[in-house]
Amino acid sequence: MKKEIIKFGKLLYDKDLTSATSGNISIRFGNQIFITATGTALGFLKEEDIVLIDMEGRELNTNEKASSEKFLHVEIYKLRKDINAIIHCHSPFSTAFAASGKELSLPIVAENILYFGKIPIADYAMPSSKQLVNNTAKMFSDFDTVLMANHGIIAGAGNILNAFYKIETAENFAKTYIFSKILGNQKILENEEIAKLQVLRKKIHSENTEK
């Protein structure tokens, strides 16, 4: 578990999806959670930077303090039994949308309709606050990837690889959106095509759920 968190923390850093000591990663293991310690840099994690907590956010057998966002991870895990890994970061293009109060929903790329449907934005709250937990965790009732207003992005999945894929894909979507806006004449898909993609998305999701 710790090695996986270290591996993907470095990957996030190498791909410019995180910087300095921003962001946090966790993996659920039964009724416990491995999560990055507060103040740690995801690109330079060591095993002692990974803290074990219980499902109430209490640190277990460690001198390190867990991430200040630990309760957000806990609430998402409680809400979604199918999510076993969570990544929160401040990837620049996605965070630009979060800072602008814009959800990632414009239907200009077919693959992103299939992958996300849309990426909504949770209302702003002070980082690490109970209100931030409430505003963001509830969005996971319907979505796996959520922008956090004036903050960043968070994604959950069945494993850490797929959580990383969500963060990376969202960042590419945000980048494509911004560049297409600069170029001008964005081509929005027709409603008929969007409907077809939504049907296919439901089919893919259903097949993945049955596996």
Find all residues with CB under 8 Å of 147, minimum gap 6, and list them: 94, 97, 98, 103, 104, 119, 120, 121, 122, 153
Tokens standing for residue 168:
């990376």
Please name every residue paired with 66 in a beta bridge, in sequence order, or none if there are none.
37
Residue 129 backbone phi and psi in degrees, to 5? -85, 160
Q: Which of 69, 168, 171, 190 is catalytic?
A: 69
Asked whether the beta carbons of 66 and 40 are under 8 A apart, the reply is no
CA atoms of 190 and 174, how far apart (whole Å): 20
Find all residues with CB under 8 Å of 71, minimum gap 6, and list them: 57, 130, 133
Annotated active-site residue 69? The verdict is yes
As annotated, the active-site residues are: 69
